[in-house]
Every structure is written in C-alpha cells, then in structure tokens.
Amino acid sequence: MSRPVLVAPSILSADFARLGEELQVISRSGADWVHLDVMDGHFVPNLTFGPPLIAQIRRHSALPFDVHLMIERPQDWLKAYRDAGADRLTIHLEACRHVQRHLVQIRELGAAAGLCLNPQTPLAGLEYVLPDCDHVLVMTVNPGFGGQSLLEPVVGKIADLRRMIDGLGLPTLIEVDGGIDRGNAQRILAAGADVLVMGSAFFREQEKQALVDHLHAAAIPNKRGKPHAGRSARSP
C-alpha cells in the first residue's frame, strides 16, 4: 500500500488577468486541489486577495479550494472565506492565541481545518491539537512570496510530524508549501508529505499534466502497511 499523493497548484504564480483560464489549466492538469494564498500585508509582507475574488473565481473550478490564510486574526474572517467558496481553511499557529477554538470553528462551518507552521515554529504543542486538524501545512519557505528556495532543514520537520501523526494513529494530512519542484518533490514525499503545494514550478512547466502524473506516481509505500487516508476522508 502507498499513500496517495495530492497536488495543489497555487494561483499565486498564475496570471491574475486570466484567472478563470488558469483554473481550467489546473483542472486539466489532473491536480487535486487549488491552493489560494491570502496575504494581509501584516502577518506577511505582501498583499494578495480576499473573499470577493475567491467568490468570483469559484465557479471556474470544481476542485476543492484550499485557502491558506496568511493573515492576522483569521478567526474574524473564517465565515467570509467559507461563504466565498473555501473547502479547506488553513490558519497559522503564529497568528492565533486560541488555535483549537478556531480549528473547531472551521469544522463547524463545514470546511476542512488546517493548521500552518512557519519554518522556525517547532512541532511541540501541535500534538495536542492534531485531532482537530484535517491537515497540517508545513511551510518550507518564509511565507509571503512565491518563487523562493526550499529551506532544507525543514524537511526533517516533515519526517518528525509524520512520526507524530502515525504514532497517534490520526488521518491528518501533511501538506507542504514553498519551493517545491520536480527535483525535490520525491524527498519531500519520502519524508512523509501527502499534499504538495506548487506555485512557480507548476506555472513555469510546459507539460503540466506530465508533471502532475509524475508527482502522483511518486507515491511512497506506507511503512505501516495500511492506507494512510482514503480520498473521501480528505475531502470536506
């Protein structure tokens, strides 16, 4: 048995003047989720888009919208992003004092709940909120910009998180974000990732379907001998 690999292209590297078409490109590639990077200019030193844009592009894709909130006080915005069409909502541990409460709020809104850790944030403490997470998003760059290089030391954190999740027998998915390309994807999957976010590497690729096929085929055998999580368990 092997864990399925999910691919989540980030529209941060798409042509914003043609977002509807870019979403169709993502669907045609065979990718699994659309990753949407929301930045507020405070939590990260960049600005992107908010609920109105997500609501407008929602009808251009049938894929799950995986919304990564790089914003202060994400709890104030959860319903707005859910109403706009988010299927999965990820908040940053560093942005929340009462993270468990907000993870529950996300699930109560009917979305899958995700918790994100910046590169320097240790896994300690995460263990106690893992049952409330449908996925953990491990940042392998400092958030704020696409096109950065993967921070190699964080690959060890993915492996530690894999052991933690498997040790607790949880179905929580590990999603990895930042600097992932064809060259390093295999190592990230081998460390224990389930979901690969890919921005610049996806959009600069000419043969997008071949890239996604290649990543799907790179599934790593599950050492525990059981499927990690069925596709139905990972969709909201």
Residue in 39, 51, 68, 113 binding Zn ion, rule: CB under 5 A? 68
Take residue 170 and report the two structure tokens written for it: 């949880």
Q: Taking contact as CB under 6 A, which single stretch among the options 10-18, 121-129, 166-174, 212-220 is the one that binds ligand DX5? A: 10-18
Asked whether 65 and 235 are in contact (CB, 8 A), the reply is no
Residue 74 interaction partner, one of Zn ion, ligand DX5, none, beta carbon < 5-8 Å per kind: none
Shortest CB 155 distance to ligand DX5, Å: 14
CA-closest candidate to residue 146, choices 114, 116, 180, 174: 180
Residue 141 interaction partner, one of Zn ion, ligand DX5, none, beta carbon < 5-8 Å per kind: ligand DX5
Nearer Cβ to Zn ion (99/226): 99
Report 161-180 residues binding Zn ion (CB under 5 A). Answer: 177
> Does residue 181 bind Zn ion (CB under 5 A)?
no
Q: How far apart are CA 100 and CA 211, in angstroms?
A: 36
Shortest CB 195 distance to ligand DX5, Å: 11
Helix (H) or strand (E) holding 136: strand 135-139
Please name the residue ranges forming H helices in the chain: 19-29, 51-57, 78-84, 99-108, 154-168, 185-191, 200-204, 208-216, 231-234
Tell me how far CA of residue 14 lies from CA of 20, 89, 201, in angstroms.
10, 20, 11
Residues contributing to the site for Zn ion (CB under 5 A): 37, 68, 177
Residues contributing to the site for ligand DX5 (CB under 6 A): 10, 12-13, 35, 37, 68, 141, 143-144, 146-148, 177-180, 197-201
